[in-house]
Amino acid sequence: MSANPDTLSIPAGSSGTSTITLVSIDGFNGSVSLSAPSPLCPSPQCTTWEISPSNVIVAPNSTATATLTIFAGGEGAAGNITVYGNSGSLSHSVSIAFKIVSSGRTPDFTMSANPNMLTIMQGSAGKSLIILTSINGFQGNVSLTPPVSCLAIGCPTYSVNPMSVYLNSSQNATAGFTIQTYPQTPLATYNVAVTGTSGSLSHNAPVTFTVVSSSPPDFTISSNPTNQTVPAGSTAKSQIILSSFNGFSGTISLTTSPPPLCVSCPGWTINPSSVTLSPGGTVASTLTFYTYAGSPASTWVVSVTGTSGSLSHSVSVAFTIVQSGSTSDFSMTANPNSLTIPAGSSGTSTIVVASLNGFNGTVNLYTSPSPLCPSLQCSYWTISPTRVDLTPNSTAKATLTMYAGTLGGSGNVTVYGTSGNLSHSVVVSFKVSQPPDFTLTVSPSSSSVSRGGSTTFTVTINGTNGFNETVSLSASVSPLLRHGPTTSLPSTVGPYSRSTLAVSTSRSTPLGSYAITITATSSSIAHTYPVTLTVTR
pLDDT digits (tens, 9 = 90+) for 27-43: 889 999 999 988 766 55
- Average pLDDT rounded to a whole number, residues 140-149: 92
Domain boundaries, the chain: 2-101, 108-212, 218-322, 329-433, 437-536
Going by C-alpha positions, the residue among 407, 463, 466 that lies closest to residue 432 is 407
The predicted model gives 318-345 an average pLDDT of 82
What integer pLDDT is reported at residue 75 of this predicted model? 58
Cα(42)–Cα(19) distance, integer angstroms: 26
pLDDT at 277: 93
- pLDDT for 375 equals 57
CA distance 210 to 91: 53
pLDDT recorded at residue 454: 93
Which residues are CB-neighbours of 90 under 8 A, at least 6 positions away? none
Residue 42 has what pLDDT? 53
pLDDT at 105: 64
- The confidence score (pLDDT) of residue 326 equals 59
92 vs 100, more confident: 92
- Domain 437-536 in CATH 2.60.40.10? The answer is yes
- Higher-pLDDT residue of 231 and 336 is 336
What is the tens place of the pLDDT at every residue in 81-96?
999 999 999 999 999 9
Bigger pLDDT: 104 vs 66: 66
Query: Is 25 in a helix, a strand, or coil?
Result: coil
Q: How many CB atoms lie within 10 A of CB 244?
A: 20
Identify the CATH number of the domain defined by range 108-212: 2.60.40.2310
Encode pLDDT of 8-24 as tens digits: 888 777 788 999 999 99
Domains 2-101 and 329-433 in one fold? yes
Q: CB of 503 within 8 A of CB of 449?
A: yes
What CATH architecture applies to the domain 218-322?
Sandwich (2.60)
The pLDDT of 505-532, averaged and rounded, is 94
Averaged over 139-157, what is the pLDDT? Answer: 88
pLDDT one-digit tens code per residue, 183-227: 888 888 898 999 999 988 999 999 999 987 777 788 999 988 777
> What pLDDT score was predicted for residue 372?
63
CB crowding 78-101: b at 16 or more within 10 Å, else e: eeebebbbebeeeebebebbbbbb
* Beta carbons of 306 and 221 less than 8 angstroms apart: yes
Q: Does domain 329-433 have CATH number 2.60.40.10?
A: yes
| In the chain, % of residues over pLDDT 90 | 54
CATH topology of domain 2-101: Immunoglobulin-like (2.60.40)
